[in-house]
Amino acid sequence: MEICPMELKNILDDVCRKSGVAIGEGGFSIETCRSMVAVMDSDSTGKLGFHEFKYLWNNIKKWQGIFVKFDRDRSGCISEQELPSALTAAAVCFNLNDPKKGTGDLYALIVRRYADQHGSMDFDSFVGCLVRLDTMCRAFKTLDKSNSGSIDLGIEEWLQLTMYS
């Protein structure tokens, strides 16, 4: 009842092929699948259990719909112009800043980490980005017990939170 990153890759590649979502010749990268397992693996087994997989699967289906909607030119990538709206539509715990208003520090960081040199993002990168955002937001909400919008972490807590993800 658990799946490893390679099994996750095979499942996702099959589903995307059958539903017509372009993910490139090689499908999802094994690195993206490792990242998805790492950030969703709440019991640190290196695999996804049923509930972890179900949570990830439901999000991927939702994000697939958003990706298809915002890939208006059907290029298999969300262009730099399409990306802010797609990320805002898919953002899991907050709206991203609009880079055109000069407050897009987080957006710029996301583009630098997940987009190609032209600012476009393929489905593999889009899902990897959103999984990371979702996980980090859920971790923050768990640690922000007073709902103040800030947390206080020691170095060991910070490393535990970020190292495996």
For residue 122, what is the domain's CATH number? Answer: 1.10.238.10
Q: Which tokens in the block code for residue 99?
A: 């880079």
pLDDT tens, position by position, 23-75: 666 788 898 899 889 888 888 888 999 999 998 888 888 988 999 899 988 88
The sign of the CA dihedral 19, 22, 23, 27 is positive
Which stretches of 52-117 are assigned E, i.e. beta strand? Answer: 77-78
Name the pTM for this structure.
0.80
pLDDT score at 97? 55
Residue type, 90: A
Contact partners, residue 139, CB within 8 Å, separation at least 6:
161
Q: What is the average pLDDT across 5-29?
A: 83
pLDDT tens, position by position, 70-125: 998 888 889 888 888 888 888 766 666 555 554 467 788 888 899 999 989 998 89
Provide the domain limits for residue 53: 5-144+151-163
Please say if the pLDDT value at position 4 is more than 90: yes
Q: Encode 57-85: b = buried (16+ Cβ within 10 Å), e = exposed.
A: eebbeebbebbbebbeeeeebbbeebbbe
pLDDT score at 47? 94
DSSP-based helix, strand, coil % in the chain, nearest 5: 60, 5, 35
How many domains, the chain? 1
